[in-house]
Amino acid sequence: MKESTVNAIRKIAELTGPKCASCPGGDQYRCCDKMFCSTVKIPSGIHFDKPNVNGIPYMGEKGCVLPPEYRPMCSTFVCGGHLDDRKFRREYDRLMDKVRKEFPEYPDSAHLRKTCQGAFAPDWWGHNRKLLIPASRE
């Protein structure tokens, strides 16, 4: 992964973290699911413990144990309702433009606003099922 992509993903994770923390019901990890762990991009030779909190392999007591760049799909996701914040959306779009240079299949904010308005909806992930579940696991 290019360094510019890594930096953009890290900045998006910092940007979206407070949005996730403000999730209704107080569950900032409610969008996390074990199927997303199949999308991680861990370089060969690097290993992480799998705490498996709530049945999610890389979920620890305080969130995911992987750095943002090893879980780019998760790190770049944000519920569509948060994109009503124009200042946030401008920065998110600016950073996502950098990410999509390497991962063109990742959605833009217009798509997220449509499929995930106000709360997590599986439409985005379902639409991109081939990114999530390798053919050998379907």
Q: Convert the pLDDT of each residue in 110-134 to its tens digit.
A: 777 666 544 444 444 444 444 443 3
| pTM check: above 0.85 | no
Q: Within 13 Å and on the Cβ side, how many CA atoms surround 114?
A: 8
pLDDT confidence of 52, banded at 50, 70, 90? very high
Give the pLDDT of residue 25.
63
Integer Cα distance of 12 and 5 in angstroms: 10
Q: 39, 131 in Cβ contact below 8 A?
A: yes
User: Strand, helix or coil at 123?
Assistant: helix
Cα separation, 138 vs 63, in Å, equals 27
* Angle formed by the axes of helices 3-21 and 86-102, nearest 10°: 150
65-107 pLDDT, tens digit per residue, is 999 999 988 898 888 778 888 999 999 999 999 999 998 888 7
**Tens digits of per-residue pLDDT, 55-64?**
999 999 888 9
pLDDT at position 134: 37
The total number of residues written for the chain in this structure: 138
